[in-house]
Structure 1
Amino acid sequence: MAKTILIKNFSNSAGNSVDIRLSYQFYGRKPEEAPVILVNHALTGNSIVTGKNGWWKDLIGEDKCIDLRKFCVLAFNIPGNGYNGQYFENYKHFKLKDIARIQALGLDEIGINKLFAIIGGSIGGALAWELAVLRPELAEHVIPVASDYKSTDWLVANCRIQDHILNNSINPVSDARMHAMTFYRTPQSLSQKFQGKRNSQNRSFEVENWLLHHGEKLKNRFTLRAYKLLNHLLTTIDISNGSGEYLEAASRIQGEIHIVTVNSDLFFLAEENRKTYRELVAIKQNVYLHEINSIHGHDAFLIETEQLTDFLKPVFESKINPTHYNPKSQPSSEVNFNEDKAGYTTLHKIES
């Protein structure tokens, strides 16, 4: 069951004060008895990361790469993704850095000041970069998967098309999703999957039916307001805080950095991650690059679980630093705990 933290009067990048409901879930061991791994979801994901409906269930679970018998897994919902019913009308007032700041406040109020790892895919990986730069000492391992620490021109261009679809289409979520699927996969992936086949009943191409299916499927579980926010946040990835000094910012991260890229990714390009690795490893020692080889493009981080496990298993089997969990760790003394009617734990910051 999800719990929630109420962060009152959060000041976003536009200088507006907003009350934030940050919902989260724990999996596996208790946070006071085991190292904690923070898992960040992708654009249409949420805090359900494992179990029957978990979006990363092939990577996270008992006896899996991230073993729930050994670790405590924490997953936040990006505020505004609709999971807990919260949306932002003025969504363009937020940047991804704001989400990292909200996560940092959430960790403080839960009472977690050390993480064994931060891992995330796609925008979740970018959020891992942002949080790691915000709190350089927080995590022993930072693992951005199929992601980047900046919004490239190519990424912004695709998000602009998505924005136009979301604001102008009569069926915006479905149509935007169909467009997105064309850069989440590759021509080779679609060719292998469909081989030019047509439906036996209506004679339409099977690839068309597949796109329509994914569009309608997302429309039934994801809202327009959430899609607009997350798409906008993709255009605000910037660990340099506007200075353009990305490498300097990344070099301040004290933990190991494991960049996982996909050779065929048409969204977060592999060449950008390779360049980041080459330049960052020259000024920081504990940086590693892992490349998934796949024809499936961006979605390979969800499909090629065996390759991802091969890369990450040594990380999650490495020696655990005992300072990364504190059995006596308690939430900040500047927090009040209450149970609301929905059964959520709400942590209200006491205003000075």
Structure 2
Amino acid sequence: MENKPTHITLQNFTTESGALYPDLNLSFQVFGPELNTAPIVLVNHALTGNSQVIGKNGWWNDLIGENKTIDTNKYTVLAFNVPGNGNDETIIENYLDFNARDIAKSFIEGIKFLEIKQLYAIIGGSVGGGIAWEIAALEPTLTKHLIPIATDWKSTDWLIANCFLQEQILNNSRKPIEDARIHAMLCYRTPKSFKEKFQRTTNEELAIFNVESWLSHHGTKLQKRFQLSSYKMMNQLLKTIDVTRNTGSFEEIVSRIEADIHIIGINSDLFFTADENKATYQEIKKYKNNVSYQEIVSINGHDAFLIEYNQLDKLLAGIFQA
């Protein structure tokens, strides 16, 4: 069964920066069995995603659904919209009020409102995986499995630099969403993937290279469905992932997390690099046994977590077919 977004009002929500939101709208969707009748999997969306995980316009239809890797016959799938992501009426203009941990806190409040005592798994890719890390750091006993994909527990200097450029484009361009998206696609894919896809071919009708036509198409497509305030908000969250900020050392935080941690990197990811993921795994392994690192092998870069479903199915099978 598929539900339309349901809304919760979080009252007197104060962000880490001290901004008070007397009424913060948090919307969510539930797929599969009713809440609290089956093991619950929380799915966190990425930058341009939303709570529509499956169904028409579902962004993870190949991974989640009836008889899929995360089988909605067996698992209840819960997905929140990041407040301000544009999928509901919530518009947040003061995006600098928020960081990734604030969104994690809002999701935790939503989980408590829904009277969920424990999650079977939290899974998310990219910024959604960063928010998953933040949730586990705040509530170390909440989930049995933590599955961060194509992400990390912190925004690196390289990632912050790219987010900085994104913000410059979003604030200064005449066509902010289109231009920011064009730049972002260069981070989400790889030189090898472009070479294989385009082979320096041209669009004779437009008299431009096909790679240019493809990038313009992606920019225009996003502009039609995404709001500027939403892009600024999501970019700000991507820049501010850090489970250790004002809290303690990484060792202290991870040692408290009871969940099995399943880190999944992508060998060609230019955004959240495999090297960072491996370093995170090696660090955690020093003081925690129930951690693993697996890798998607693909030329498609960061976007491989939305493309390589057969590999993801194999990497996740042991968690969801147990």
Asked if these proteins are the same fold (TM beyond 0.5), I'd say yes
Deviates more, 1:126-135 or 1:81-90: 81-90
Report the AA paired with residue 140 of structure 2: P
Report the AA paired with residue 152 of structure 2: D
**In the alignment, which residue of structure 1 is the partner of 2:79?**
75
**In the alignment, which residue of structure 2 is the partner of 1:148?**
152
Written as runs of structure 1 = structure 2, the 5 A alignment for 1:288-303 is 288-303=292-307
- Is 1:239–1:250's contact at 8 Å kept on the other side of the alignment? no
Report the AA paired with residue 125 of structure 1: G
Cα 1:9–1:195 change in 2 (3 A) is same
Report the AA paired with residue 146 of structure 1: A
**In the alignment, which residue of structure 1 is the partner of 2:13?**
10
Q: Residue 244 of structure 1: CA displacement?
A: 6.4
SS at 1:125 equivalent: helix
Cα 1:30–1:11 change in 2 (3 A) is same
Question: How many angstroms apart in 1 are the aligned matches of 2:79 and 2:73?
Answer: 17
**In the alignment, which residue of structure 2 is the partner of 1:164?**
168
Report the AA paired with residue 183 of structure 2: H
Cα 1:145–1:99 change in 2 (3 A) is same
Percent of matched pairs sharing the same residue: 53
Report the AA paired with residue 64 of structure 1: K
Deviates more, 1:163-172 or 1:47-56: 47-56
**In the alignment, which residue of structure 1 is the partner of 2:100?**
96
SS at 2:202 equivalent: coil
Stretches of structure 2 that go unaligned for 5 or more consecutive residues are: none
Question: How many angstroms apart in 1 are the aligned matches of 2:127 and 2:41?
Answer: 17
Written as runs of structure 1 = structure 2, the 5 A alignment for 1:169-318 is 169-242=173-246, 245-318=249-322
- Is 1:162–1:231's contact at 8 Å kept on the other side of the alignment? yes
Residues 290-323 of structure 1 deviation map (CA, whole Å, 9 limit, x = unaligned): 10001000000001111111000110012xxxxx
Q: 1 or 2 for the larger relative contact order (CA 8 Å, sep ≥6)? A: 1
Q: Does 1:119 align with 2:100?
A: no
SS at 1:192 equivalent: helix
Q: What CA RMSD, in Å, does the superposition of the two structures yield over aligned residues?
A: 0.9
**In the alignment, which residue of structure 2 is the partner of 1:66?**
70
SS at 2:225 equivalent: coil
Question: How many angstroms apart in 1 are the aligned matches of 2:167 and 2:136?
Answer: 28
SS at 2:26 equivalent: strand
Report the AA paired with residue 116 of structure 1: Y
**Count, aligned residues:** 318
- Is 1:149–1:238's contact at 8 Å kept on the other side of the alignment? yes
Question: How many angstroms apart in 1 are the aligned matches of 2:60 and 2:78?
Answer: 13
Question: How many angstroms apart in 1 are the aligned matches of 2:68 and 2:241?
Answer: 31
Cα 1:243–1:109 change in 2 (3 A) is closer
SS at 2:101 equivalent: helix
SS at 2:208 equivalent: coil
Report the structure number with the largest CA radius of gyration.
Answer: 1
Residues 188-210 of structure 1 deviation map (CA, whole Å, 9 limit, x = unaligned): 00100011110131221000000
